[in-house]
């Protein structure tokens, strides 16, 4: 690892590494946990595939909008820096804080939880006594939280998070290489799994078609069911923007980051549609929606218990790779905030030997571990995705602002279908958020509470910076931000 004497980060990530960060961040736990939940909500195999495709296309539009901005602005911190240019320091800070407080750290906690769920049968880590495991904490508007319930699984998740944080502590090139290798393995594994199901499995193409008979689960209406299922699909697609966080460490970022956003997202859409068709082929729809570990159920149809073990190992590798992608990328947001004077200065330090934002990595890793204690996979993933899409909406709207504020800035890539595609993305995001507030109020409120928790730090930072400006210790505030 080359050193930069603690002054700057290393541009060591190639186009392939950038594509693998996009794909690796997206392909994690969701594709192995969400199909059954979504099937139960939708009640139709055709609708299930349509939701996966539509959610993928909407995600692709979001990625293409970001690709235009990423081609314009070459900076570590990605969307945090974009929000500074679009809306100013307050919105940028709230976004950066949300990344640390809930969006990415919560995502990491949820993925680590699935990693631990699949590894626990092999390790059999014991839980805590009933008296400790039953301890509850009440959060207004959210409900009861049991931090020590299922602690055997949670402890595995926490150790995993801290271990991968250590990998990325010692270098971005090493972390990026590990990520590329694992992502290629897990994409290959999913494709191989699909081929095996279609070629060896005794499934039926009739499982793919029900005459569009729609029977939403529970008492929910069709629109609510589609909205909730979209949330599950969006969780599986989430993470596509992680590569923008490490733009300052990508070689030729104005060319390679937009390419990575497009190619990585298209790869994942194809992989997800193929594997869901395979799940439906081998599992009758009623069986699929009652199989939370759907990949395990599918392969057990062919190879029995040994097949289930093989799939468990594949999911463990997949989740590990997704965690590495997310942890590698996300710490750069807090780093960028600190470097711009919007957060604690220590998080902007670079390790003198490893040239990584080491303190930012450690803080992120510790908080992700804390979030593991707040709930199950579904609980954590639901409040994460609400918070994430709030800012995806603002980011897409920002492309209109930058076209007016920075009309002469070179744009190596311009979003296809402008202005209609960004308008479509913003409108859909708004409808999705409204549906989430109505149909999943508790998890939406958890996201809001974690976001609002950063306000005291913002006002403290502004007060501190004002005093430092008065003393001439830092430059006057740039009113253009």
Domains and CATH numbers, the chain: 15-470 (1.20.1740.10)
Neighbours of 323 (CB within 10 A): 31
In the predicted structure, residue 216 carries a pLDDT above the cut 80: no
The token pair at 145 is 């939280």
What is the band of 376 on the pLDDT scale with cuts at 50, 70, 90?
Answer: low
Write down the pLDDT at residue 142.
Answer: 62
Is a pLDDT exceeding 50 seen at residue 35?
A: yes
Q: Which tens digit of pLDDT belongs to each residue from 233-257? A: 988 898 888 787 777 778 888 888 8
Please report the pLDDT score of residue 314 as a whole number.
83
pLDDT classification of 389: cutoffs 50, 70, 90: confident
Tokens of 71: 């081609």
User: What's residue 378's pLDDT?
Assistant: 67
Least confident piece of the model among 114-128, 200-214, 420-434:
200-214
| pLDDT band, residue 479 (cuts 50/70/90) | very low
| Whole-number pLDDT of residue 141 | 59
Confidence (pLDDT) at 218: 61
Cis peptide before 265 (omega within 30 of 0): no
CB contact at 8 A, 36 and 292: yes
Given a cut of 50, whether residue 209 has pLDDT beyond it is yes
pLDDT at residue 344 above 50?
A: yes
Kindly state the average pLDDT of the residues 2-12.
56
Strand pairing class (137-139; 143-145):
antiparallel
The closest alpha carbon to 273, from 21, 79, 35, 75, belongs to 35
- Tell me which residue of 462, 78, 454, 110 sits closest to 242, measured CA to CA: 78
Q: Does 4 have pLDDT greater than 50?
A: no
């Amino acid at each position: 690892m080359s050193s930069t004497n603690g002054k700057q980060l290393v541009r060591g990530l190639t186009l392939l590494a950038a594509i693998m960060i996009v794909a690796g961040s997206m392909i994690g736990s969701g594709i192995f946990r969400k199909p059954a939940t979504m099937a139960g909500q939708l009640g139709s195999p055709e609708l299930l595939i349509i939701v996966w495709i539509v959610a993928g296309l909407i995600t692709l539009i979001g990625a293409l909008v970001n690709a235009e901005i990423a081609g314009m602005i070459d900076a570590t911190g990605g969307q945090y820096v974009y929000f500074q240019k679009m809306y100013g320091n307050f919105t940028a800070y709230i976004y950066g804080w949300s990344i640390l407080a809930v969006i990415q750290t919560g995502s990491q906690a949820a993925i680590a939880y699935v990693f631990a769920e699949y590894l626990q049968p092999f390790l059999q880590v014991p839980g805590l006594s009933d008296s400790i495991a039953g301890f509850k904490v009440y959060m207004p508007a959210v409900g009861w939280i049991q931090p020590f319930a299922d602690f055997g699984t949670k402890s595995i998740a926490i150790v995993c998070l801290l271990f991968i944080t250590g990998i990325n502590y010692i270098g971005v090139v090493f972390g990026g290489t590990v990520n590329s290798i694992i992502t290629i393995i897990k994409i290959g594994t999913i494709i191989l799994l699909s081929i095996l199901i279609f070629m060896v499995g005794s499934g039926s193409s009739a499982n793919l078609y029900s005459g569009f008979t729609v029977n939403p689960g529970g008492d929910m209406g069709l629109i609510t069911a589609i909205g909730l299922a979209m949330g599950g699909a969006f969780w599986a697609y989430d993470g596509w923007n992680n590569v923008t966080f490490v733009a300052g460490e990508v070689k030729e970022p104005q060319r390679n980051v937009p390419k990575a956003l497009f190619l990585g997202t298209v790869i994942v859409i194809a992989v997800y549609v193929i594997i869901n068709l395979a799940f439906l082929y081998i599992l009758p729809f009623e069986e699929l929606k009652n199989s939370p570990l759907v990949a395990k159920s599918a392969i057990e149809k062919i190879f029995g218990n040994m097949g289930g073990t093989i799939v468990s190992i594949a999911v463990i590798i997949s989740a590990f790779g997704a965690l590495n992608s997310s942890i590698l990328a996300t710490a750069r947001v807090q780093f960028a905030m600190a470097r711009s004077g919007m957060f604690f200065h220590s998080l902007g330090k670079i390790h003198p030997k490893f040239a990584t934002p080491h303190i930012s990595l450690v803080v992120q890793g510790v908080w992700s571990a804390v979030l593991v204690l707040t709930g199950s996979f579904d609980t954590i993933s639901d409040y994460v995705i609400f918070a994430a899409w709030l800012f995806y909406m603002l980011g897409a709207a920002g492309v209109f602002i930058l076209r007016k504020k920075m009309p002469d800035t070179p744009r190596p890539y311009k979003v296809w279908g402008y202005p209609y595609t960004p308008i479509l993305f913003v409108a859909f995001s708004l409808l999705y958020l409204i549906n989430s507030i109505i149909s999943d109020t508790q998890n939406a409120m958890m996201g809001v509470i974690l976001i609002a928790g950063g306000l005291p730090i913002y006002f403290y930072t502004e007060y501190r910076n004002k005093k430092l400006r008065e003393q001439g210790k830092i430059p006057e505030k740039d009113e253009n931000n």
